[in-house]
Amino acid sequence: MRTRCAVANSTRLDSDTAVYQAAFNSARWSGDLQAFRINIDGTIDPTVVWSAAALLDGLTEANLNSRNILTIASPVAAGGGSFLSTTGRDFIWSDLDPAQRDALRQQFGGGPPVSIIEAQDRLDFLRGSRLLEQPNGLLRQRDSRLGDINNSDPQLIANQDFGYTILDQSLAFSGLSIGAAYQTFRNSAAYQNRPPILIVGANDGMLHAFNAELNANGGEELFAFVPDSVFDNLFELTLPAYSHRFYVDSAPRFADAYVNGNWRTLVVGATGAGGRSIFALDVTDPENVTASNVLWEFSHPSMGFTIGQPSISPLPNGEFGVVVTSGYETGQPDGTIWILDAANGSIVHTITLPNSGDLGAPLVVDLNGDRVADRIYVGDTRGNLWRLDLDGPNPSNWQAPSSLRNGATPVPLFVARDGNGLRQAITAPLTAAFNEDGLHTIFFGTGSFYRLNDNVVPPNPNIDTFYAVIDRGVAIAGRSAMLEQFILAEVDVNGIGNRAVTANEINPSQSGWFLDLVWTATFGGPGPLGERSVTRATVRGDRVIFATLIPDPDPCSFGGTSFIMELDAFNGGRLNYTVFDINFDGEFNSDDWITITDENGDTIQVPTSGIDPNIGIVKSPAIITGVGDNNDEVKILSGSSGQLIRISERGGIEVGRQSWRQLR
C-alpha cells in the first residue's frame, strides 16, 4: 500500500481531531481512505476509525442499486471554442446518451463493438457489481470497489468560513447585500447540521464524497460523480488485462459561492491526467445530492491534462468565477487561463500567455482584504512565473500590467533558471504572502514529478530550487537579483537526517531569495541527487515550510526520500531558534541544535533547518496547533512507504518576524 496524502479535520487540537489518509495498492489498483483519531497529546491513535473501502466492499449487490452515482450529458459546442454540458444524469444505462453507451461498447485496440448486454455488464461493474469478476466471470478481478487514490489529495468540507460577510463593503458587490445573506446562510440549521465530507478523486473513474464524521455514519459514500471526459476509457477498467491509467486524478477545490441568487457550497473538480475537463457540483446538502446538483463540465481544444487545482473566487465584475488553466501536454505553443462563470461554466474571459510552458494551478489572490480577486499568478514548465491583474468590472481589462507587457504581449514576472542558465519547471502550486514591509512575495519550488519518467534520476541531474520572489511590478533579472542561501550540511541524529542551511542577510534592494536543493561538494556533500519541490509551501509566522523529494535511483520504484524544510520566510536562511525536537525530550532548546562546519570552515552549532521523516516521499503536511501546555504543534505526514507519522514542533513562537500574512 502506498500512501499519498493526509488531511486533518481541524487546525487546532481538540477531542474530535482526526486525520484522514488516502492510499493505493498497485497490485490490483485499489484504494482506500481511512480515518484516525489524534490523541489529546498530539499522537496518532493507530486504530482505524473507519475505512471507506471496507464500507464500500461491505455493500451487497442489492445495495448497489441505490448507490448514488451521477454523471453528466455529453458536452456541446459553446462560446469561445469551448464545449460545455449543464445536464446532470444518473450513472445508469437508461440515462446515458448514445455516445456514452457507445464508449462502453468499445473493444481494446479497435474492432466491432461488444453487445449491449456486455456493455451493461461493464456499467454494472463500474457501479460496483462483483458478480462477473474473475474467476466467476470474464471481467477484471478487483481487491476493492474503491479505485486507487493516487494524486487527488482529499479535501475536507466542514463549514469553513470564507469571510464573505464583508463582500458588501467591496466596490464590486456593493448594494447587493450578499454579505448579510452569507451570514444567514451559515447560520441556517441546514448548514450547521450538515455532516463534514471528504471529496476525493479516484482512478475508478469517479469523484467520491464520503461522510467524514467519527461515528457510525463515518466513511459512508454519500455520492460519486463520473465526468463525461473519462467515458472513452471507462471500459478499460473492466478488462482482465487492464493496464493502469488515470481517470479522476486531480485534487478538487471547494468554496461557498453566490450563484443564481443564492449562497451555495460548490466543488470544482478536474480530471488530472485522466481527462481534459473541469466540472462543478453543488454540494450544499451533501446527503441529498442528485443529478440536479451537477452544474456543468467544461472542456476546450486547447485544454490539456488538468492536473492543477482550479480556483473559486469572487470577481471584480460582481460575480463568482472559476479560474482554470490549460494544464499539461496541451500540444499548443501558448498557455491559456480561462475565467469561467461559477454558475454555468461559460467563459467570462480568456487570457493567452505566449510561448509559455504547460501551466500549473492558478493562484488567485486578494490584495486588499475585501475577498475579491485582484491578481492571478501561474507558473509553467518552462520556468515562467506570470502575473495577471484583474482591474475593474470589465473583464476585457483583465490582463498583465503594462509594466509586464511588450506592447500587448504579456512577459513573465520572473523566469526560474539554475546556475547554468537552464530553465526549471514550475509545477508546484504557488503560495503568496505579505512580509512585514508590505512586500508581496510568491513562494514555490521547481521540478516535476508527474510525467512517466520523472522518477528516473539521470547520472548528472539538473539542480532544482526553492524560490521566494518579491513582486514589485517589474520583470526580475533572474537569480542575480536575489539572495542565495546554501545547504551546508546533513547530520544524522537519532536515526533522523537533519539539514543545515546558511543564514545570509537579505539586502532591501534584492528581489527575493533562493535555495538550490543540493548539498554541493563545496560543503562536503554528494552533489546533485535529483531533489525537487513539487507541493505547495506554507507560510506560518516568520517561517516558510515546504517538502522536497528525492526519487529512488531504482527507476522501477516509486519510492524515494523527502525533507521537510522550515526556513526564515524573509531571507530563506536558517531560523535563529529551535523548531524541531530532534532528541525527542519534549523540549525545544539548544539541545536540539546540530554541530556543523560552516561556510568559513568553522565548527558551529545551529538549529536544524530540515529533517528527513524517513517514511519515503511525502507531500505537504497537515498542521495541528494547540498541543500541550506550550501550545506546540504537530505535523502529520503520510509517506510513500505507507506510514503515517507525526512530527512534534515548537508552537507559540515569540521571537523573529511575526507579520507575514499568507494570502487567500
**Residues in the chain, how many?**
664
Q: Which residues does the chain have with pLDDT short of 70?
A: 1-4, 553-558, 651-664
Residue 528 sits at the vertex; the CA angle it makes with 522 and 530, to the nearest 5 degrees, is 160
Using CA atoms of 482, 488, 492, 494 in order, give the dihedral in degrees to the nearest 10. -60
**461 and 489 in contact (C-beta within 8 Å)?**
no
Number of alpha carbons in the 13 Å side-chain half-sphere of residue 418: 17
3-state secondary structure of 225: strand
pLDDT in tens, 288-342: 999 999 999 999 999 999 989 999 999 999 999 999 999 999 999 999 999 999 9
- Phi, psi (rounded to 5 degrees) for 58: -80, -10
E strand spans, 373-472: 375-379, 384-389, 405-406, 409-410, 414-415, 431-434, 440-445, 465-471
pLDDT in tens, 185-233: 999 999 999 999 999 999 999 999 999 999 999 999 999 999 999 999 9
Which triple of cell numbers denotes residue 335?
498557455
Provide the pLDDT for residue 215: 95
The pTM of this model reads: 0.95
Provide the pLDDT for residue 391: 96
Residue 432 sits at the vertex; the CA angle it makes with 405 and 611, to the nearest 5 degrees, is 130
E strand spans, 396-486: 405-406, 409-410, 414-415, 431-434, 440-445, 465-471, 483-485
Cβ-based burial of 9 (10 A; exposed 0-12, middle 13-18, buried ≥19): buried
Helix (H) or strand (E) holding 365: strand 363-365
**Among the residues of 34-85, which ranges form H helices?**
52-57, 61-64
The residues with which 88 forms a beta bridge, in sequence order, are 72
DSSP 163-200: -GGGGGGSTTTTTS-HHHHHHHHHHSHHHHHSPPEEEE
**433 and 512 in contact (C-beta within 8 Å)?**
no
* Rama region for 261: left / alpha / beta (φ>0; ψ in -120 to 50; rest): left
What lies within 8 Å, CB to CB, of 341 at 6+ separation is 319, 320, 321, 322, 347, 348
Provide the pLDDT for residue 661: 60
**606 and 574 in contact (C-beta within 8 Å)?**
yes
- Indicate the domain borders of the chain: 301-412, 458-664
CA distance 30 to 21: 14
Helix (H) or strand (E) holding 77: strand 76-77
**386 and 351 in contact (C-beta within 8 Å)?**
no
